[in-house]
A and B are shown apart, each in its own frame.
Chain A
Amino acid sequence: QQQVKQSPQSLIVQKGGISIINCAYENTAFDYFPWYQQFPGKGPALLIAIRPDVSEKKEGRFTISFNKSAKQFSLHIMDSQPGDSATYFCAARANTGNQFYFGTGTSLTVIP
């Protein structure tokens, strides 16, 4: 059973455009929602994270929007750049033991 559902599987965006990746969850015990960026041959790296008591968090060009009632959260990449081309994973952490559950990933390609 996939604890965190992520879409789309792949995304192609023009340079300067907005990239949007969506995730949904069911488990109300999740208390921390990070996004990771992974380049080929590398491990995932924490990009930005949010807690459910906040509806939005922005760091530079990256914004997380969080809808607690809908159990959905999304990553917005503003002014997308070719260097943003990578695979993005959403994740959720259970408050019962610090376990992290990952989405299936979104392959983002930013076209120059």
Chain B
Amino acid sequence: EAGVAQSPRYKIIEKRQSVAFWCNPISGHATLYWYQQILGQGPKLLIQFQNNGVVDDSQLPKDRFSAERLKGVDSTLKIQPAKLEDSAVYLCASSLKVILTGEQYFGPGTRLTVT
């Protein structure tokens, strides 16, 4: 079974530029998450999708961050304009919408450096 795919793996941009990250979840996983992991910290949820609907985006800085999940499969996360404090690893994860298990599987992440 293929895992969660993310691209690019690394990105360096200047502040005020825009950037987009792509995620392809595990086939059949209805729930998709985007996390921000700042160096030395645990992942922080940015947005959660159930199919193509947003379940939780309470911690998404909506003035600069946006995300979409077209057709309930792939997802993109965009930052525009980027700030220095956005430097982090952006992790995508997916899980089955199953009450009993709930495991989520992470992709390798995209390391963003804003200079």
Contacts and interface: CB of A to CB of B under 8 A. Distances in A.
A3 to B, nearest CB: 10
B82 interface: no
A42 B109 CA distance: 7
Interface stretch (A59-67, A76-84, A94-102): A94-102
A102 B108 CA distance: 17
Nearest to B50: A98
A97 B106 CA distance: 18
Given A43-B91, A43-B93, A105-B41, A49 B109 contact: no
Interface residues of A, number: 23
Given A43-B107, A49-B103, 6 more contacts: A41-B108, A42-B109, A45-B106, A46-B103, A98-B48, A104-B42
Interface in A27-72: 32, 34, 36, 41-46, 49
B55 interface: yes
Interface of A: 6, 32, 34, 36, 41-46, 49, 89, 91, 93, 97-105
Contacts of B107: 43
B31 interface: yes
11 contacts: A34-B103, A42-B109, A43-B4, A43-B91, A43-B93, A46-B105, A98-B31, A98-B55, A98-B95, A98-B97, A105-B40
Nearest to A4: B42
Contacts of A46: 103-105
Closest 9 CB pairs of A and B: A43-B106, A102-B42, A32-B102, A102-B43, A44-B106, A104-B42, A105-B42, A89-B42, A43-B109
B77 interface: no
Interface in B43-101: 43-45, 48, 50, 55-56, 91, 93, 95, 97
B33 interface: yes
Contacts of A41: 108
Contact of B56 (A89, A99, A104): A99
